[in-house]
């Protein structure tokens, strides 16, 4: 009994997130015919794949007590950078993706180095990174660039058929990234170091943990994830656009917090982020099924949930 209480207390935010998802999905299924189906559930993953990938990287950053406002801009930069390389410079997609991922990781590592070595606030450094990435995207092109390469058509059209369940490529990529993110966050020393840094950086330093390398690495990983999200977004839309991802960094942060990760760092779960993506997608899908509600209702509901989880985090911190 005591062990059950400890488990519930330790995982209360994650459990609340799971209950909210079940309640939302069940309510939408009762209100709208056809909502309770594998097609709708898979659609939640496919339609929010690039947001979910960005949220995985953001989860790791928030584990360490940091924040990254450059994610949406990196997605826009990566999408137009990749599309331009492939369509206008006729570079092979694989090489274009590698260059885009390297650019995202390099930007992240640079921001992490500035944050660590100069003791600068992550908010300000990543805000500068946001302007840099967004400006670079518009410098490349002010208009969207379509991608007509046959490999893109094959990837975007790929579907894994499991009986009556059809899983598109975007959803598969999201599931793979979530699984890798879970392994990194919860099964490696790197993930444990991030949580220790977020819980108490001074204590982590006294314990001899590699604070500097961990901080630089986590921002590099986040930049890599953001760049990957930009590439996946080009699969989804069939084009690169420098305007893509505006405000997406705030959606990613909201998903991570709704997923039960403490915004102050030191405690959280990648599974919670996955549930946060599903909650976000369920709200979107329910509004589309209804047909009478404005898309702004999604912001209202997400804002309400965010306030609930901020209050829950406050309660959790007081108990600690």
Give pLDDT tens digits for 133-180: 999 999 999 999 999 899 988 998 899 998 888 999 999 999 999 999
Contact (Cβ atoms closer than 8 angstroms) between residue 159 and residue 39: no
For the chain, helix, strand, coil in percent to 5 are 75, 5, 20
pLDDT of residue 310: 81
Residue 39's Cα: distance from chain center in Å?
Answer: 22
Helix (H, G, I), strand (E, B) or coil at 312: helix
Whether residue 233 lies inside any domain: the answer is yes
pLDDT of residue 110: 98
Rg over alpha carbons for the chain, rounded to the nearest Å, is 20
Contact (Cβ atoms closer than 8 angstroms) between residue 84 and residue 140: yes
The C-alpha atoms of residue 302 and residue 296 are separated, in whole angstroms, by 10
Residue 48's Cα: distance from chain center in Å?
Answer: 9
Whether residue 23 lies inside any domain: the answer is no
pLDDT of residue 76: 98
Helix (H, G, I), strand (E, B) or coil at 292: coil
The C-alpha atoms of residue 247 and residue 225 are separated, in whole angstroms, by 17
Question: CATH no. for residue 96?
Answer: 1.10.3470
Whether residue 21 lies inside any domain: the answer is no
- Half-sphere exposure (Cβ direction) of 10: Cα atoms closer than 13 Å: 7
The C-alpha atoms of residue 264 and residue 309 are separated, in whole angstroms, by 13
Using alpha carbons only, give the angle 235, 241, 242 rounded to the nearest 5 degrees.
135
pLDDT of residue 4: 58
* CA dihedral over 214, 215, 220, 226, signed as positive or negative: positive
Query: pLDDT tens digits for 259-305?
Result: 989 988 998 999 999 999 999 999 999 988 887 777 788 888 888 88
pLDDT of residue 235: 93
Whether residue 90 lies inside any domain: the answer is yes
pLDDT of residue 294: 77
The C-alpha atoms of residue 105 and residue 127 are separated, in whole angstroms, by 16
Q: Give residue 168's domain range.
A: 37-319
pLDDT of residue 7: 58
pLDDT of residue 320: 54
Whether residue 242 lies inside any domain: the answer is yes
The C-alpha atoms of residue 30 and residue 35 are separated, in whole angstroms, by 8
Contact (Cβ atoms closer than 8 angstroms) between residue 113 and residue 220: no
Contact (Cβ atoms closer than 8 angstroms) between residue 171 and residue 51: no
Q: State pTM to two decimals.
A: 0.95
Instruction: Please list the pLDDT of the chain residue by residue as tens digits (320 residues).
Output: 666 566 566 677 788 899 999 999 999 999 999 999 999 999 999 999 999 999 999 999 999 999 999 999 999 999 999 999 999 999 999 999 999 999 999 999 999 999 999 999 999 999 999 999 999 999 999 999 999 899 988 998 899 998 888 999 999 999 999 999 999 999 999 999 999 999 999 999 999 999 999 999 999 999 999 999 999 999 999 999 999 999 999 999 999 999 989 988 998 999 999 999 999 999 999 988 887 777 788 888 888 888 888 887 777 666 65
Whether residue 25 lies inside any domain: the answer is no
pLDDT of residue 269: 93
Whether residue 178 lies inside any domain: the answer is yes
The C-alpha atoms of residue 265 and residue 263 are separated, in whole angstroms, by 5
- Number of domain units in the chain: 1
Using alpha carbons only, give the angle 103, 106, 109 rounded to the nearest 5 degrees.
150
Whether residue 52 lies inside any domain: the answer is yes
Contact (Cβ atoms closer than 8 angstroms) between residue 220 and residue 109: yes
The C-alpha atoms of residue 199 and residue 216 are separated, in whole angstroms, by 18
pLDDT of residue 27: 94
The C-alpha atoms of residue 188 and residue 218 are separated, in whole angstroms, by 13
């Amino acid at each position: 009994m005591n062990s059950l209480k400890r488990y519930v207390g330790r995982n209360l935010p994650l459990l609340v997130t799971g209950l909210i998802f079940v309640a939302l999905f069940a309510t939408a299924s009762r209100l709208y015919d056809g909502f309770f189906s594998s097609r709708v559930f898979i659609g939640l993953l496919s339609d929010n794949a690039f947001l979910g990938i960005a949220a995985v990287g953001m989860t790791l950053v928030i584990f360490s007590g940091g924040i990254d406002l450059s994610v949406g801009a990196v997605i826009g930069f990566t999408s137009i950078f990749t599309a331009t390389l492939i369509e206008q410079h006729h570079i092979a997609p694989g090489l274009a993706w590698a260059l885009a991922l390297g650019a995202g990781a390099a930007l992240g590592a640079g921001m992490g180095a500035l944050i660590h070595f100069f003791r600068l606030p992550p908010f300000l450094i990543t805000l500068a990174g946001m302007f840099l990435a967004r400006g670079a995207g518009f410098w490349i092109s002010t208009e969207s660039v379509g991608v007509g390469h046959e490999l893109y058509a094959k990837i975007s059209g790929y579907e894994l058929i499991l009986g009556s369940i059809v899983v598109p490529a975007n959803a598969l990529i999201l599931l793979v990234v979530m699984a890798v993110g879970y392994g990194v966050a919860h099964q490696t020393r790197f993930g444990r170091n991030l949580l220790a840094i977020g819980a108490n950086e001074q204590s982590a330093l006294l314990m001899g943990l590699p604070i500097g390398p961990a901080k630089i690495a986590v921002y590099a990983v986040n930049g890599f994830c953001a760049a990957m999200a930009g590439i996946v977004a080009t699969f989804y839309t069939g084009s690169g656009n420098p305007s893509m991802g505006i405000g997406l960094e705030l959606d990613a942060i909201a998903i991570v917090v709704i997923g039960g990760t403490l915004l102050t760092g030191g405690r959280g779960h990648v599974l919670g982020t996955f549930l946060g993506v599903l909650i976000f997608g369920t709200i979107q899908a329910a509004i589309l099924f209804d047909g009478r509600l404005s898309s702004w209702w999604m912001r209202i509901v997400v804002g309400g949930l965010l306030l609930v989880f901020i209050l829950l985090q406050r309660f959790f911190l007081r108990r600690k």
